[in-house]
Amino acid sequence: MTRIQTLDSSSMSTLDDIETSGNSEREMTSHVGLVYEDSKKTIARATEMNLGSKEVLSRQSRPVYDAAEYQRKLQDTLTPLPEETAKTAFYTKGFFAGFCNQYMRFIGVILLAKNDGFDQIIDESISWKDTFGTDHYLHSSQLWDLVHWNSFHPDLPRFARYEKDVHKDLTAHSTKVTIEGEEYDNLIVNYDVPTGHDIWNKTLSTYPPPFGKFPNQGNNRYRQLAKAIELDRAHNDLKDYLKMFETVMKGALRPHPFLQAIVDKTASKLGGEDGRGYMVIHMRVEPDMAQQRVCSHKKLYYVDNITDMVHTQFPEPPVKTVLIVFARSLLDAMEDHAKTKPERNHMEKINRHNLDMIEDLLENGMWGGKVKVVEAGSAMVEAAGNPFFKYYSNFAGGIINFFLAIHSSILVGTEVSTWSTLSINSRYYRDIKENYFYTPDGLHWVTPPNVTKPHRFQC
């Protein structure tokens, strides 16, 4: 399996100076403000709220990451349990698309495994795709804390590593990736059965048996549950699925300890020692979103429209820092193309305007400069000093942004984004209720106290 570098003191030293770790090697700054949709009153600080303090305590109580100790525990927890104790399965399809789409698909796959009666899944069979980075596939153990995940077994299926002498119908070969002059091995595991042997034929013996015959089964299972929750049917019709879903959303799936250490330290830095907290604003104004026709009546296209809503609703800064999340590479790509043309089209003009507004936010902040605005993500991973995660910084940065959003005091996103919806729903299940969608009509409070179910994405 791919070797993960040890996190030593030098690996994290850059995080001590968070102001220098923005996405474009610029100063990191952040702003936040929120308002109740109906009352227009400023929301209480997260430190005054039950869940905000729970999240802070969780970060403070987490042990310092020790790479060697974690690897020992990981090898321990990935040891396959006997078949009579835990029925093993091998997932046959890889993930694709963006981070949140893969996250939802993963949840669906876990539900699918449980539905088919499987108690442990071969780690190497579930592959996450670094879609917008290297295009490589990575195992769950390379991205997520499986020591923590396996502690939820038997409520959730556990992960186990491939073992040649145990899993007789599987075979493995190693691929190599050279990172900063060092070779990293990545194990690729597939079925190796005689010609004519149909692994899906249940009358034939295949070990471990496969699941996930069709590419969209995981995604469909997730959507089935989401719809049942929306219609208030999950507690009766899919109560086992619902319990598993809630367990995942409350924190069973958390980043690899190296990445979690970055999240914890960054969240503490952004929030400040005085506990004022930070806000995350998901600036979903990239060209691909603007070009999609679906739910166009719910979209905002300009960065300054979003910040104007926050400023209008909150005359005084509600937080210490604002973290803005957006796909800079998509905006930069359109801008680079526009520079080659004699005249910009309408979308290219909007894109240039948004880049200018983002640069202004990062340079001058919000609330008249009282609140910093920052970027995090990939650049923060690259600054942390681990060659492996630096190489896969696009995907790793997406994980960091997502979990920084979960831990924020206030989250502002958009209804037309799976990223916004999934992060807000994760916060809902952790009882963090300061979550808002920006709409053409203003900020909408998604999770007020009387809301009894998460938001269902329908765009």
323 and 420 part of one domain: yes
Instruction: Please say which residue of 215, 233, 252 terminates a domain.
Output: 252
Does 100 share its domain with 202?
A: yes
pLDDT per residue over 207-218, tens digit each? Answer: 999 999 998 999
Residues 424 and 398 in one domain: yes
Does residue 54 register a pLDDT over 90? no
Residue 183 lies in a domain: yes
434 found inside a domain: yes
Rounded to an integer, the average pLDDT of 348-361 is 96
* Residue 109 shares a structural domain with residue 194: yes
- Residue 454 placed within a domain: no
Q: Is residue 450 part of a domain?
A: no
* Total domains, the chain: 2
* Total-model pTM: 0.84
20 and 71 housed in the same domain = no
**Stated length of the chain:** 459
Clarify whether residues 78 and 48 are in a common domain. Answer: no
Whether 457 is covered by a domain: the verdict is no
Q: 148-168 b/e with 16+ CB inside 10 Å = b?
A: bbbebeeebbbbbbbeeeebe
Identify the pLDDT of residue 370.
Answer: 96
Shared domain check, 38 and 100 = no
At 150, list the tokens: 């396996």
| Residue 27 confidence (pLDDT) | 31
pLDDT per position as a tens digit, 229-272: 999 999 888 999 999 999 999 999 999 999 999 999 999 999 98
| 92 occurs within a structural domain | yes
Per-residue confidence at 152, pLDDT binned at 50, 70, 90? very high
The answer on 315 and 432 residing in a single domain is yes
Q: What is the number of alpha carbons within 13 Å of residue 280 lying toward its C-beta?
A: 28
Choose one of 252, 286, 313: the last residue of a domain: 252
Q: In this structure, what token pair is assigned to residue 299?
A: 């979209």
**Across 15-24, 255-264, 284-293, 432-441, least confident range:** 15-24
Q: Cis check for the bond before 208: say yes or no (omega within 30 of 0).
A: yes
In a domain, 114, yes or no: yes
> Do 81 and 28 lie in a common domain?
no
Judge if 57 and 77 occupy the same domain.
no
376-399: per-residue pLDDT in tens?
888 889 889 899 999 999 999 999
Domain co-membership, 89 together with 76: yes
Please, are residues 428 and 454 in contact by the beta-carbon 8 Å criterion?
Answer: yes
What are residue 185's phi and psi, to 5 degrees? -95, 135
**Partners of 443 in beta bridges:** 438
Which residue from 138, 109, 78 is spatially nearest to 211, judged by alpha carbons?
109
Which domain, by its residues, includes 285? 9-61+256-445
- Say if residue 180 is in the same domain as residue 270: no
Domain boundary residue among 252, 285, 316? 252
Cβ contact 457:421 at 8 Å: yes
Indicate whether 4 belongs to any domain. Answer: no
CA dihedral of residues 190, 193, 197, 199 (deg, nearest 10): -30
**What pLDDT is recorded for position 61?**
60
